[in-house]
Amino acid sequence: MPLEAVQYRGESVDERVAALNARYRHHSATSVLERAFADEQVGDIALVSSFGAESVVLLHMVAVMAPQTPVLFIDTQMLFPETLQYQQALAEKLDLKDLRRITPNAARLATVDPDGTLHQRDQDACCDLRKTETLQDALTPFHSWITGRKRFQGGQRTALDFFENEADIRIKVNPLAHWEKQDVQDYMTNNRLPRHPLVAQGYPSIGCAPCTSPVKPGEDERAGRWRGTQKEECGIHFVDGKIVRGPLPKGDAA
């Protein structure tokens, strides 16, 4: 069922996003995140975390700035064992106050993917079932959510702003949008944060086990995601089958 456009404080999502981007355009990543927790135009907010290769940065920031913030962890039930172990270790180390483990609807799984092989036939449908639908349900109470997406990751991410309109439903906050790869690594080093164990094994971007492979030297860091296909995103940044509205790449029509 299509999701309907919503208003908050009498303002549309578009109006709030435009105001927020204008207000914080020249702020740093940490300043954007800190102010997002207090800005009324952002509203109720959650962090969505995959507990992947770079997730610890935002998890640490949230734990320091606003430790009561809900952290939504989407357990697709096809994650690497190392990811589940890392999630448990970080939750304890960072003392995450409101960590919510979200799993796919059991009835939907039994109907659509009873033998767990949907990913072999239709990766998009599998992501939709295990990630997109699951996340959208979990985000229902929130006006905004925090993502770890960054421009340097390429693809649809190259023109990210700090604040995005998610299909006129809620706001996506991308505090690390302008960070480079080295910024991420420096933050982890300076704060002595533990790394995901699979990174050392050649996995710079980590998703579900069946659809993630090691990356060779010189390859794009996301080359191991859905290798051999045209797929670039898992689907959580799509609503009703369409990519959420954001800034258009240079050269595209307005």
Q: Has residue 249 been placed in a domain?
A: no
Least confident of 127-131, 148-152, 245-249, 250-254: 250-254
pLDDT of residue 234: 52
pTM of the entire structure? 0.85
- Three-class SS of residue 204? coil
Q: Has residue 253 been placed in a domain?
A: no
Q: Which of 126, 208, 211, 234 is catalytic?
A: 234
pLDDT in tens, 66-117: 999 999 999 999 999 999 999 999 999 999 999 999 999 999 999 999 999 9
Number of folded domains in the chain? 1
Q: Has residue 14 been placed in a domain?
A: yes
Distance of CA 74 to the CA centre of its chain: 10
User: Catalytic annotation on 211?
Assistant: no
Q: Output the domain CATH number for residue 94.
A: 3.40.50.620
Angle separating helix axes 55-65 and 81-94, nearest 10 degrees: 20
* Structural domain boundaries enclosing 193: 7-243
Q: Which of 80, 79, 141, 77 is nearest to 103 (CA)?
A: 77
- Mean pLDDT, the chain, rounded, equals 87
pLDDT in tens, 149-204: 888 765 666 678 999 999 899 999 999 999 998 999 999 999 999 999 999 999 99
Q: Has residue 195 been placed in a domain?
A: yes
